[in-house]
Amino acid sequence: RKEVEQDPGPFNVPEGATVAFNCTYSNSASQSFFWYRQDCRKEPKLLMSVYSSGNEDGRFTAQLNRASQYISLLIRDSKLSDSATYLCVVNIGDMRFGAGTRLTVKP
Amino acid sequence: DVKVTQSSRYLVKRTGEKVFLECVQDMDHENMFWYRQDPGLGLRLIYFSYDVKMKEKGDIPEGYSVSREKKERFSLILESASTNQTSMYLCASSPPGPPYEQYFGPGTRLTVT
């Protein structure tokens, strides 16, 4: 079983849609959690950290469920510029990356 | 803003060549990392370093070595390049404490022919 698993997608959604990604992790000792965004042929960039209490940054909401060992990312009112691959990342002493979920937002 | 730079964006090398990939960060970060990224596999850790002259093997160190002579610079060396080392190589740095987020360089797309 992979340490961090994500649905690879692709998710194709119209502008304005709400889309949710889930990610599961296998190591219950995981310490911290992140969502990164990676545009085509670019490096990953931190989108947001994920806290136990859940956190929101504008149209983006991240949730952590330690009991079930999953993390989610919700994007509301999708924009064309949200098209990218979203990487789920778990820190278990070093960072473990999911393979990413590809999102395409269409006009 | 954190800036991580890598010596080349694209590189083409022949099988058997020795290849050097350089990474420099300007934020005085203690931690530096080398990953490779392949479709469907995500990022895999090759080597990392928590201090000057210090290095630790990651998940896939075979065929690679590293050097960290200065805090800001972390080099990845392919001793004898092979075609299965064709990949995107990403360098990252992070400060030592939580929340541990890493900052990436733009990547080097290496092709070994």
CA–CA separation, A49 vs A13, rounded Å?
A: 24
pLDDT at B48 over 70: yes
Smallest CA-to-CA distance from B7 within B64, B54, B75, B62 is with B75
Q: Is B104 on the interface with A (CB under 8 A)?
A: yes
Q: Is A34 on the interface with B (CB under 8 A)?
A: yes
Q: Is A7 on the interface with B (CB under 8 A)?
A: no
Q: Is the Cα dihedral A33, A34, A40, A43 positive or negative?
A: negative
Contact: B101, A97; criterion CB under 8 Å? no
A41-91 per-position pLDDT tens digit: 899 999 999 988 889 999 999 999 999 999 999 999 999 999 999 999 998
Q: Which residue of A has its CA nearest to B103?
A: A45
